[in-house]
Chains A and B, each alone.
Chain A
Amino acid sequence: MIVIRREICGYCGACVSVCPEAALELVDAYLEVDAEKCKNCRICVRVCPLGALEVSDEE
């Protein structure tokens, strides 16, 4: 499950554009992840310019 570290996220939307599952959505000043769509591929974790996304160990 992708965890968004809100204290780091700059809500830029870079992750939204690369998500193959359309699981991420930028709602004005915060990012949302749809846990049902997310397949933990970690593409968003890599692309984030600030390092705001993590995969939590609890699956």
Chain B
Amino acid sequence: MKSEYDILIIGGGPGGALAAKTAAEAGLSACIVEKRPAIGVPVRCAEGIGEDLIGEFFDEVDPKWISAKIERAKLIAPDGSSFYLDPAMAGNEVGYVLDRKFFDRDLIWQAVDAGAECYVRTRAVDAIVEDGVVKGAIIEYAGKQQEVRAKIVIAADGVESKFSRYCGIDTTVPLRELETCAQYLMTDIDIEPGVTVFYVGRDVAPEGYIWIFPKGERSANVGIGISGTQSKDGKRAKDYLDKYVQENFPEGKTIELIIGGVSVCQPLECTVGDGLIIVGDAARLSDPITGGGIYNAMYTGKLAAEVAVECIGKEDCSKKALMIYDETWRGSRMGKALDRNYQIKEIFVKLEDKQLNAILNSVNNLAMKEFSTLSLIKELIKLNPKILKDLAGVKKYFD
């Protein structure tokens, strides 16, 4: 490892990988440090992503990244009634369940091929901050610590992000806005292979949901997220999951236990500092309704590097110069969706099961022009004008 790079990237997930690749392709020196001994493991994800979203970054989607193609979704109300969400055009793929072990590794491979450096089992233990300006990180590698300086540091260190904190930014997620999650990769279970299933309700998953994301004909990620404030002894994410699995897949085999936290709070107030850009989960950019964060991390990782390249070229890496990153993502489709979905989430988590049943039962095997959370919410509102009054504050998002 050198002692100086143009860009130092903390974390080797999809956000860090896209940042490194983008920077290296622009001819800058970029270095990724990943604290784990391998890229892509342990998985901390349900692995779902929209078809249109992944296409934005690649000319071709490598088949080995994809565990399953998704054609429709099924929603199950607290009273057990269910309905399907279908894209309007039959045969249309709406999304994928990825294999993050392959996907993440390939993204890093692409970054390294483009000229970036990558070090695993290597951790940032502190930030180098001089006169309030981030100048690099203290990197621990093979038991030794060294200073690594950079013109810009990109914090892509995920939900457990500490780098921004080293730089003096409070990134604490409020307990009620941290979904605590447990998931089994199960096999030998009866599922609908092209269908993602979502269960909602206070009894099954308080202030969260249970999901079944197919990974193959008879395999799936079966998981749950519940609000941190709902989590307590005997009623933790894993307790709810075990109960569900016992009742629904008693014969299934569990071949992986995956756990983690997903923030459903608003993004950090500001995602840049002097010499610092924060991306993906570390910037609290996972979707407040779905918890999805892969696209958001890749989009902001790439954008962060583009801005970094520009600012390094102009020899101004101040917070003021980097603000264009913050402004751009907030004004993007992603930024607007985060804003809107946060407001909607705040209403939905307060609904009683009785209300959820009424709302979901108003919909019957909905065919949507555009397959998205937004179209679903729009339909729900159309069919339930009464909840519109609760949504008065968010009406502007639908005009």
Contacts and interface: CB of A to CB of B under 8 A. Distances in A.
A8 B237 CA distance: 14
B175 A46 contact: yes
Contact of A20 (B158, B160, B172, B237): B172
Contacts of B260: 12-14, 49
Given A17-B161, A18-B172, A22-B165, A51 B257 contact: no
A14 B208 CA distance: 15
Interface string A10-53: 11111111111010011110000000000000010011111100
A11 B44 CA distance: 10
A46 B229 CA distance: 7
B261 interface: yes
Given A10-B257, A22-B165, A28-B37, A47 B175 contact: yes
Contact of B228 (A12, A20, A25, A47): A47
Nearest to B227: A47
A49 B259 contact: yes
A18 B121 contact: no
A46 B259 contact: no
A53 to B, nearest CB: 11
A27 B123 contact: yes
B259 A47 contact: no
B181 interface: yes
Contacts, number: 90
A17 B238 contact: no
A25 B180 CA distance: 17
B398 to A, nearest CB: 31
B178 interface: yes
Interface residues of A, number: 23
Contact of A17 (B37, B42, B159): B159
Contacts of B236: 48-51
Contacts of B259: 10, 12, 14, 49-50
B10 to A, nearest CB: 13
What size tier do the contact residues of chain B reach? Answer: 35 or more
A12 B181 CA distance: 10
Given A10-B257, A14-B260, A28 B36 contact: yes
B180 A48 contact: yes
A18 B175 contact: yes
Contacts of A13: 44, 158-160, 260-261
B162 interface: yes
Contacts of A10: 257, 259
Contacts of B181: 14, 49
A38 to B, nearest CB: 14
Interface in B196-234: 228-229, 231-233
B35 A28 contact: yes
Contacts of B35: 26-28
A33 B232 CA distance: 20
Contacts of A12: 44, 160, 259-261
A48 B36 CA distance: 21
A25 B228 CA distance: 19
Interface in B137-156: none
B237 A49 contact: yes
Contacts of A19: 172
B159 A46 contact: no
A18 B160 contact: no
Task: Tell which of A15, A19, A50 has the most Cβ of chain B within 10 Å.
Answer: A50
Nearest to B158: A13
Interface in B23-78: 35-37, 42, 44
Interface in B160-209: 160-162, 165, 171-175, 178, 180-182
A10 B43 CA distance: 12
21 contacts: A12-B259, A13-B44, A14-B159, A14-B160, A14-B259, A15-B261, A16-B160, A17-B172, A17-B263, A18-B172, A18-B178, A18-B261, A22-B172, A26-B35, A26-B160, A28-B36, A46-B175, A46-B231, A47-B228, A47-B261, A49-B236
Interface of A: 10-20, 22, 25-28, 43, 46-51
